[in-house]
Amino acid sequence: MSMDDLKRQAAARAVEQVRDGMKLGLGTGSTAKHFVELLGERVKAGLKVVGVPTSEATRADAERCGVLLTTLDEVDRLDLTVDGADEIDPNLELIKGGGGALLREKIVAAASDRMIVIADESKWVPALGRFPLPIEVIPFGLGATRRAIEAVFAENGVSGQMDVRKAKDGHAFVTDGGHWIIDAHLGRIPDSPRLAAALNSIPGVVEHGLFIGLARTAVLAGPQGIRVVERR
């Protein structure tokens, strides 16, 4: 079974949680794309839902699949967000942002009563940090922001190379919000909630990919089947 089959299986399990009338957060990435496609099939069969997309790519996918869209200005809370992740630890803390949509993803997840993270088993890790941590920054004053990030890393016992993410054309990758992303290669993050809070305090950092206390359920698809992990 391919990795993509596993992603689709995890997405299919999450689609079972969707009920008529729900307001949904729609994640970004290849796993979330499966969810949007499967949701679209249920919509065509008569399910009534509205979704808030977490990226322009997901907006296009949802429109193509016939999923009605709304915004967080038009609705108050969302019932459920379903999104992928780059890493998931046993406390259901996440690294997200490999696809560059972390800012909208976090806004949408925080506005949701429940977040289900869907992934293949390879995303399950004992501790976060092997996947480079995406940090979304304002291009202005980048040198100062980098130095402040380095200082926060040192205070939190981590260090590693920091790369400005590049697009395929070799220029800086620009997020849907018009910002840049620094990918920080930290190896292992001993205390992710503490690091997340410290990064939030840096001027010039718009958001980072540590999702702390947001995911309630993880649906992990592996060759042996599906494992569902609930937040303790």
Ligand X SMILES: O=C(CO)[C@H](O)[C@H](O)COP(=O)(O)O
Contact 105, 51 (CB under 8 A): no
Applying CB under 6 A, which of residues 40, 53, 84, 129 lies at the interface with ligand X? 84
State in angstroms the smallest separation of the CB of 195 from ligand X.
Answer: 18
- Report the residue number, 10 or 148, with the smaller CB distance to ligand X: 10
Output Rg (C-alpha) for the chain, integer angstroms. Answer: 17
Contacts of residue 108, defined as CB under 8 A and 6 or more positions apart, other chains included, come to: 25, 26, 27, 52, 54, 72, 78, 81, 83
Q: Is 84 annotated as a binding residue?
A: yes
Binding to ligand X by CB under 6 A, coded x per residue (else -) over 98-137, reads xxxxx--x--------------------------------
Active-site hit among 93, 105, 136, 207: 105
Nearest CA-CA partner of 194 in 110, 139, 140, 128: 128
Catalytic site residue 105? Answer: yes
Task: State yes or no: residue 53 binds ligand X (CB under 6 A).
Answer: no
Binding flag, residue 30, ligand X (CB under 6 A): yes
Query: 36: closest CA among 55, 9, 15?
Result: 15
DSSP, collapsed to helix, strand or coil, labels residue 113 as: coil
Catalytic positions: 105
Query: What does the binding site for ligand X look like in residue numbers (CB under 6 A)?
Result: 27-32, 83-86, 96-102, 105
